[in-house]
């Protein structure tokens, strides 16, 4: 029996009645596109919290993960906190921290797709103190598996 897809509750903020509800671009898309609710100019090196005009509430047992769009990154627009986590108990507006890497500015317009969001099942878990034995061949840190 196929699993039911979880439903995320989305609310448009009153100041953005035309804010875009996240949608998949194609049937095969893994994530839902997030769009800007406002037009802004991104300035090189400055982080801009781009408004989506949406509040979201993931279903019980899930959280949302906000990811960058590859099409924007190829044009010098990158998401600063990637991936971003939207916890179930977060009640504020969904905003996306973007910056521009090239000289000048990059014009984003309301309705432009700025990030992707996916629903992630929360597995829970816990931490406990104990002894951790390092495997000698894998205890070197960054690049420990070679080049």
Q: pLDDT tens track of the chain, all 147 residues?
A: 666 788 999 999 999 999 999 999 999 999 999 999 999 999 999 999 999 999 999 999 999 999 999 899 999 999 999 999 999 999 999 999 999 999 999 999 999 999 999 999 998 899 999 998 876 655 556 655 655
Integer Cα distance of 27 and 42 in angstroms: 31
Nearest to 51 by CA among 29, 10, 81, 20: 20
Question: What's the CA angle centered on 51, arms 81 and 96, to 5 degrees?
Answer: 10
Q: How many CA atoms lie within 13 A of 81 on its CB side?
A: 12
Give the per-residue pLDDT at 76.
Answer: 96
Nearest to 32 by CA among 96, 112, 117: 117
Q: What is the assigned CATH class of domain 9-125?
A: mainly beta
Give the per-residue pLDDT at 144.
Answer: 55
Residue-range domain boundaries for the chain? 9-125
3, 32, 44, 98, 138 from 76: Cα distances, Å: 38, 21, 9, 10, 35
């Amino acid at each position: 029996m196929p699993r039911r897809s979880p439903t995320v509750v989305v609310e448009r903020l009153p100041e953005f009645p035309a804010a875009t509800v996240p949608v998949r671009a194609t049937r095969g898309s893994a994530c839902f596109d997030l769009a800007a609710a406002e037009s802004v100019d991104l300035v090189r090196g400055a982080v801009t919290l781009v408004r989506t005009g949406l509040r979201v509430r993931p279903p019980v047992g899930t959280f949302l993960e906000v990811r960058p769009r590859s099409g924007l990154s190829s044009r010098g627009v990158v998401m600063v906190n990637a991936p971003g986590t939207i916890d179930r108990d977060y009640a504020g507006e969904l905003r996306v921290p973007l910056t521009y890497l090239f000289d000048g500015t990059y014009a984003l317009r309301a309705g432009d797709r700025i990030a992707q969001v996916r629903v992630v099942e929360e597995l829970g878990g816990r931490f406990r103190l104990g002894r951790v034995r390092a495997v000698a061949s894998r205890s070197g840190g960054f690049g420990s598996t070679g080049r």
